[in-house]
Structure 1
Amino acid sequence: MLQQTTEQVLISLRPNLLDAFLSGEKCVELRRRAPKLQSGTLVWFYAKVPYGRVMAVAKLRDVTVETTAAIWEAYQACMGISKAEFDAYVSDIDTAAVMSFDTISPVAHPPGLQELRALEPGFQPPQFFRRMRPSKLLDRLSDSNPLASLPGCQH
């Protein structure tokens, strides 16, 4: 069971990006807007359909805001996306944010969307991120038995 003294949030990812995290190809998360999160926050990763499950948890190292050009230069090797995908994602903005993590751990018993909705009627995966409050849902995530941690980025 994970500590519940740390802030915890839930974010949604495309399945291929979660796979890239778990394979080590990706170790940072690019966001168009900077989430206001403290170092040490536990970040739960919900993989969108077809997975439709909370499949990993990471410990946030920091959130960096830079120009999109500076982000590509510094993080291109660990974003898990191509230059074309990056350019399409940031084409209409000048700055973006990068979330880097100390560790990421796959979840041994990933709860699916149906179970999440049973724990919290009306549950919807977040578009940006969602702060987790004490609840049956957070208890279930905390009891999901994260597996051995993969190292985070060295940025």
Structure 2
Amino acid sequence: MNDPERTMLLSVHPRFATAILAGTKTVEVRRQRVAAPPGTPVLLYATAPTMAIVGLARIASVRVASPREVWTASRTEAGISRREYDAYMSGALQASGLSLEATVAFEEPVPLSALRAAGPFHPPQSYRYLTREDLRKMAVAAPDGGAALCATLSKLVRV
């Protein structure tokens, strides 16, 4: 995997997190340019009402282009309707389609309350990159049953 300093924390609506982890949504779209190389680990944060890190994936590729081009390339994998996509992309000049692979759903999600108990934590509006310290705090916050998260984090950073 990549340098742990480049692990991405990606906020997604719960229905999209579920679809990504089920393998029915393999492309996540964003309104801004995302410059992440293939192999970048991605922790999936499901927004309200879930409010927890629910799984992980790896970036297979990123396509940055006009919203129309990204839709044409990813419409069958994006897991949203054209109407939803157009509403989301309204006014955007470019878009990114993140192709995701190697997904793992955590048996026990890591709730926002546990993340905040381990230290200051603010879920991103869209995405952000995590530091080694962020990853250490997540390992501490993971419930005892969060074996998948702990195993993954131990590969990324020495905890």
TM-score (norm 2): 0.81
Give 1:127's aligned amino acid: Q
* CA RMSD, Structure 1 to Structure 2 (Å): 2.2
Point out where structure 1 has 5 or more consecutive residues left out of the alignment.
148-155
Shift of 1:51: 0.7
Q: Comparing both structures, which one devotes a greater share of its residues to helix?
A: 2
Give 2:118's aligned amino acid: L
Shift of 1:124: 1.1
Q: Distance between the aligned counterparts of 1:74 and 1:91, measured in 2? A: 18
Q: Which residue of 1 aligns with 2:147?
A: 145
Identity %: 31
Shift of 1:141: 7.3
Q: Distance between the aligned counterparts of 2:49 and 2:139, measured in 1? A: 24
- How many residue pairs are counted as aligned between the two chains? 144
Q: Which residue of 1 aligns with 2:97?
A: 98
Provide Cα deviations, 1:35-75, integer angstroms capped at 9, x if missing partner: 22222111001001111110010111121111211211111
TM-score (norm 1): 0.83
8 Å contact 2:11–2:47 — kept in the other structure? Answer: yes
Shift of 1:87: 0.5
8 Å contact 2:28–2:97 — kept in the other structure? Answer: yes
Kindly report which structure 2 residues correspond to 1:30-109, keeping only aligned pairs within 5 A, or say none: 30-109=29-108
